[in-house]
């Protein structure tokens, strides 16, 4: 089996799990803060199809095949006006996805260590250790990338939660340019 196909077969489920749980965490945090939007739209599910963005999914496959690029899931809808506390809600919803990816990375670290020890002692598969290392790297990368404070990334929600008055207003207006800024940074 070719290395590209093997990478696709191993990493695609890991990426799907990581992206889906990231988005569900946003929706659940929003729900806990008083916003039922994600629940109303059936997005508090681990069914990958509910979170599938067609272009984002193609980009995920492209990234796995080419080794370069990025992909995304469909963002969970959140209505900040439904929050009991808008600033706290923005911070918690922004943190929920990256924190989930950090927890997943930690969870994958345990079997990774066992797989490495087993492989070194001749009883395990180095491929399993490699796949688990990939899961750790993917989740830490997702967490780190999403914490960048450029809209629409999660870091921008966290920053917004700490801003007041006109500063918060002007920062929120960056959202309309955020994707352009993000693409420019990714292409550099």
Element (H, E) at 153: none
Vertex 146, ends 58 and 30: CA angle to 5°?
100
Spatial separation of the C-alpha atoms in residues 66 and 178, rounded to whole Å: 26
The pTM score is 0.91
Spatial separation of the C-alpha atoms in residues 79 and 64, rounded to whole Å: 33
Range of the domain at 165: 3-187
Vertex 70, ends 159 and 109: CA angle to 5°?
80
Positions of the chain with pLDDT under 70 = 1
Spatial separation of the C-alpha atoms in residues 186 and 183, rounded to whole Å: 5
Of the listed 18, 21, 23, 43, which one is catalytic? 23
What pLDDT is stored for residue 1 in this prediction? 55
What pLDDT is stored for residue 15 in this prediction? 92
Spatial separation of the C-alpha atoms in residues 140 and 101, rounded to whole Å: 6
Spatial separation of the C-alpha atoms in residues 22 and 98, rounded to whole Å: 7
Q: Residue 44: count other Cβ atoms within 10 Å of its Cβ.
A: 19
Report CA Rg, the chain: 18
Spatial separation of the C-alpha atoms in residues 17 and 168, rounded to whole Å: 33
175 given a catalytic annotation: no
> How many domains, the chain?
1
């Amino acid at each position: 089996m070719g290395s590209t196909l093997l990478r696709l077969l191993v990493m695609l489920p890991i990426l799907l799990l990581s992206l889906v749980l990231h988005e569900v965490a946003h929706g659940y945090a929003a729900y806990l803060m008083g916003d039922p939007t994600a629940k109303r739209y059936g997005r508090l599910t681990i069914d990958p199809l509910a979170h599938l963005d067609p272009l984002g999914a193609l980009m995920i496959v492209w990234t796995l095949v080419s080794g370069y690029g990025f992909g995304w899931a469909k963002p969970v809808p959140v209505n900040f006006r439904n929050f009991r506390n808008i600033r706290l809600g923005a911070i918690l919803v922004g943190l929920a996805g990256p924190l989930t990816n950090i927890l997943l990375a930690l969870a994958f670290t345990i079997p990774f260590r066992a797989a490495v020890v087993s492989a070194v002692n001749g009883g395990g598969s180095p491929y399993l250790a490699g796949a688990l290392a990939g899961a750790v790297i993917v989740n830490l990368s997702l967490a780190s990338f999403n914490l960048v404070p450029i809209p629409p990334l999660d870091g921008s929600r966290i920053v917004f939660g700490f801003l007041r008055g006109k500063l918060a207003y002007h920062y929120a207006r960056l959202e309309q340019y955020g994707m352009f800024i993000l693409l420019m940074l990714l292409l550099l």
